[in-house]
Amino acid sequence: MPLLEPKSGALRPQPEAGHSPAADRVADSRAGGTAQPLRGDLERLLGADKVLWKVSDLVRYASDASPYRFVPQVVVLAEDVHDISAVLSYAREHGRDVVFRAAGTSLNGQAQGEDILVDVRRHWAGVEVLDGEGARARIQPGTTVFRANASLAPYGRLLGPDPASAIACTVGGVVANNASGMTAGTTRNSYRTVASLTAVLPSGTVVDTAAPDADEKLASAEPELCEGLMALKAEIEADAGLVARIRAKYELKNTNGYRLDAFLDGGTPVEILRGLMVGSQGTLGFLAEVVFDTLPLLRRTSTGLFFFPTLSAAAAAVPRFNEAGAMAVELMDGNTLRASVSVAGVPQDWAELPRETTALLVEFRSPDDATREEREREAREVLSGLELIAPVPSVTNELTRDPGTIASYWKARKAFVTAVGGSRPSGTTLITEDFAVPPSRLAEACEALLELQERHGFDAAVAGHAAHGNLHFLLAFDAAAPDDVERYAAFMDAFCRMTVERFDGSLKAEHATGRNIAPFLELEWGARATDLMWRVKRIVDPAGVLAPGVLLDRDPRAHLRGLKSIPSVEALADPCIECGFCEPTCPSEDLTTTPRQRIVLRREMLRQAPGSPVNDSLLDSYGYDAVDTCAGDSTCKLDCPVGIDTGALMKDFRHARHSAREERNAERTARHFGRVERSARLAVAAADQLRGRLRGRGGDLGDRLLNSLTDKARKAVSPDLVPEWLPEVPGPAAKRLPATNRASAAAVYYPACVNRIFGDPKGYDGLSLPEAMIIVSARAGRPVWIPEDVTGTCCATIWHSKGYESGNTLMANRMVEAAWRWTDGGELPLVVDASSCTLGIAEEVVPYLTPANRKLHDQLRILDSLVWAAEELLPRLTIEQRTGSAVLHPTCSMRHLDDEAELRTVAEACAEEVVVPLDAGCCAFAGDRGLLHEELTASATAREAAEVTARSYDTYLSANRTCEIGLNHATGNRGYHSVIQELERATRPR
Q: Kindly tell me if the per-residue pLDDT of 714 is higher than 60.
A: no
Residue 429 · residue 559 · CB < 8 Å = no
CA 496/CA 433 separation, integer angstroms: 11
CA 13/CA 717 separation, integer angstroms: 27
Res 3: pLDDT: 37
Cβ count within 10 A of residue 571: 11
CA 679/CA 662 separation, integer angstroms: 20
pLDDT digits (tens, 9 = 90+) for 430-454: 899 999 999 989 989 988 998 999 9
Residue-wise over 746-757: b if at least 16 C-beta within 10 A, else e?
Answer: bbbbbbbbbbbb
Pairing of strands 747-750, 830-832: parallel
Residue 477 · residue 470 · CB < 8 Å = no
pLDDT digits (tens, 9 = 90+) for 124-166: 999 999 988 999 999 999 999 999 999 999 999 999 999 989 9
Q: Provide the sign of the torsion angle of the four alpha carbons 286, 290, 296, 297, taken in this order.
A: positive
pLDDT digits (tens, 9 = 90+) for 246-280: 999 999 999 999 999 999 999 999 999 999 999 99
CA 437/CA 184 separation, integer angstroms: 16
Q: Kindly tell me if the per-residue pLDDT of 210 is higher than 90.
A: yes
Q: How far is CA 940 from CA 591, 922, 978, in A?
A: 8, 7, 21
CA proximity to 347, closest of 405, 423, 420, 434: 405
| DSSP annotation string for 153-176 | GGGTEE-S-B-TTTTT-BHHHHHH
DSSP summary character for residue 257: S
Residue-wise over 816-846: b if at least 16 C-beta within 10 A, else e?
Answer: bbbbbebbeebebbbbbbbbbbbbbbbebbe
Residue 478 · residue 424 · CB < 8 Å = no
* SS3 annotation, 62-128: CECCCCEECCCCEEEECCCHHHHHHHHHHHHHHCCCEEEECCCCCCCCCCCCCCEEEECCCCCCCEE
Of 404-418, 430-444, 719-733, the range with the highest mean pLDDT is: 430-444
CA 505/CA 59 separation, integer angstroms: 37
pLDDT digits (tens, 9 = 90+) for 496-539: 999 999 999 999 999 999 999 999 999 999 999 999 999 999 99
Q: Kindly tell me if the per-residue pLDDT of 335 is higher than 50.
A: yes
| DSSP annotation string for 715-765 | HHS-TTTSPPP-TT---BPPSSPPP--STT-SEEEE--HHHHHB-PPTT--
- Check if CATH label 3.20.20.80 holds for domain 130-296: no
Q: Kindly tell me if the per-residue pLDDT of 2 is higher than 90.
A: no
Which comes out higher in pLDDT, residue 889 or 718? 889
CA 659/CA 163 separation, integer angstroms: 47
Q: Kindly tell me if the per-residue pLDDT of 557 is higher than 60.
A: yes
**pLDDT (mean) for 851-874:** 98
Q: Kindly tell me if the per-residue pLDDT of 717 is higher than 60.
A: no
Q: Kindly tell me if the per-residue pLDDT of 214 is higher than 70.
A: yes
State the DSSP H helix or E strand holding residue 661, giving kind and residue range, or none if neither.
helix 660-671
Rounded to the nearest integer, the mean pLDDT of the chain is 93
Please report which confidence band the pLDDT of residue 907 belongs to, taking 50, 70 and 90 as the band edges.
very high
Residue-wise over 855-883: b if at least 16 C-beta within 10 A, else e?
Answer: ebbeebebbbbbbbbbebbbeebeeeebb
Please report which confidence band the pLDDT of residue 19 belongs to, taking 50, 70 and 90 as the band edges.
confident
Q: Kindly tell me if the per-residue pLDDT of 692 is higher than 80.
A: no
How far from the centroid of its chain's Cα atoms is residue 228's Cα?
Answer: 41
Res 6: pLDDT: 44
CA 532/CA 236 separation, integer angstroms: 9
Give 628's contacts (C-beta < 8 A, 6+ positions apart): 720, 932, 933
Please report which confidence band the pLDDT of residue 5 belongs to, taking 50, 70 and 90 as the band edges.
very low
Residue 61 · residue 101 · CB < 8 Å = yes
pLDDT digits (tens, 9 = 90+) for 915-930: 999 999 999 998 888 8
Cis upstream peptide for 37 (omega within 30°):
yes
Extents of the domains making up the chain: 1-30+569-643, 130-296, 302-508, 671-863, 871-987
- Check if CATH label 3.40.462.10 holds for domain 302-508: yes
CA proximity to 119, closest of 135, 140, 142: 142
Give 637's contacts (C-beta < 8 A, 6+ positions apart): 643, 644, 645, 646, 647, 648
Q: Kindly tell me if the per-residue pLDDT of 911 is higher than 60.
A: yes
130-296 and 871-987 agree in CATH topology: no
Q: Kindly tell me if the per-residue pLDDT of 771 is higher than 70.
A: yes
Burial class (CB in 10 A: 0-12, 13-18, 19+), 81: middle
- Bridge partners for 158 per DSSP: 295
CA 372/CA 736 separation, integer angstroms: 59
Cβ count within 10 A of residue 741: 11
- Check if CATH label 3.40.50 holds for domain 871-987: yes
Residue 773 amino acid letter: M
Q: Phi and psi for 824 in degrees, rounded to 5?
A: 55, 50
Res 701: pLDDT: 67
CA 874/CA 876 separation, integer angstroms: 5
Res 111: pLDDT: 95
Q: Kindly tell me if the per-residue pLDDT of 765 is higher than 90.
A: no
CA 642/CA 339 separation, integer angstroms: 10
**Region at 870 (left for phi over 0; alpha for psi -120 to 50; beta for the rest):** alpha
* Percentage of the chain modeled with pLDDT above 70: 96
Query: Under DSSP, is residue 28 helix (H, G, I), strand (E, B) or coil?
Result: helix
